Amino acid sequence: MKVLVPVKRVIDYNVKARVKADGSGVDLANVKMSMNPFDEISVEQAVRMKEAGTATEIVIVSIGPAAAQETIRTALAMGGDRGILVKTDQTVEPLAVAKILKIITEQEGADIVILGKQAIDDDSNQTGQMLAALLGRSQATFASEVKIEGGKAEVTREVDGGLQTIRVNLPTVITVDLRLNEPRYASLPNIMKARKKPIDEKTPEDYGVDITPRLKVLKTTEPPVRTAGVKVESVQELVAKLRNEAGVI
């Protein structure tokens, strides 16, 4: 069974994001970039499936600038078999990503596509769902547990009210949530081995997909700065403030 794992190069989750002066977006100049943490979880899931004998080959895909090759290498070091880099310096929105992934999924004959439920840079949470729709396949989103058995996938989903377990037919698209697993760190021999694994280089044009943005960013703003607190002298004063100023009781 072939598994396709798309990965996105995003601003590192430890970096404090700064908004560009003109409000057009987040300043990415000289900022540490790494693999979207949800995508690390999907790579880990694919590798565990291969170790368990369910998956036979893991293909890693990334759509982005030349540097996204590094993100692919990281996924290969974790246990991916080979990579495909779809190179573009343009902004690629979820729909364009889904269209490219659809063609790659079909060309590769991948039975399962596992991807992060969202990327931490734009928090769109759209690509997996769009991909399943374009492919006409089942989808199992927000997975916190995945079992593959007899041509079906049993997926436990994290929903608002708790957990929901569904069974979907293969081929399918699975998006992963935070609690599915804890991604491994690739050790030195695996990093070295990954350097010798093949990565194909493509462009969006190779797939005949128009990636021109359809969304317009109107503005980007920093979160409001937290204001200083005050000290109260007594319980009575606290209650008064909660009632009259905060209006919470």
Q: Given the rule CB under 8 A, which residues bind another protein?
A: 74, 77, 185-193, 195-201
Residue type, 190: N
Burial class (CB in 10 A: 0-12, 13-18, 19+), 218: exposed
Nearer to another protein, 82 or 241 (CB): 82
The distance of closest approach from Cβ of residue 14 to another protein in the complex, given in angstroms and rounded to an integer, is 11
Nearer to another protein, 195 or 214 (CB): 195
The distance of closest approach from Cβ of residue 86 to another protein in the complex, given in angstroms and rounded to an integer, is 15
Cα–Cα distance for residue pair 72/42, rounded to 1 Å: 13
Nearer to another protein, 34 or 124 (CB): 34
Nearer to another protein, 189 or 247 (CB): 189
The distance of closest approach from Cβ of residue 1 to another protein in the complex, given in angstroms and rounded to an integer, is 18
Long-range contacts at 217-223 (CB < 8 A, ≥ 24 apart): 217/24, 217/25, 219/23, 220/19, 220/20, 220/23, 220/24, 220/25, 220/26, 221/19, 221/23, 222/18, 222/19
The distance of closest approach from Cβ of residue 233 to another protein in the complex, given in angstroms and rounded to an integer, is 49
The three-state (H, E, C) secondary structure of 189-215, written as one string: HHHHHHHCCCEEEECHHHHCCCCCCCC
Residues 6+ apart with CB under 8 A from 231: none
The distance of closest approach from Cβ of residue 104 to another protein in the complex, given in angstroms and rounded to an integer, is 18
Nearer to another protein, 185 or 235 (CB): 185
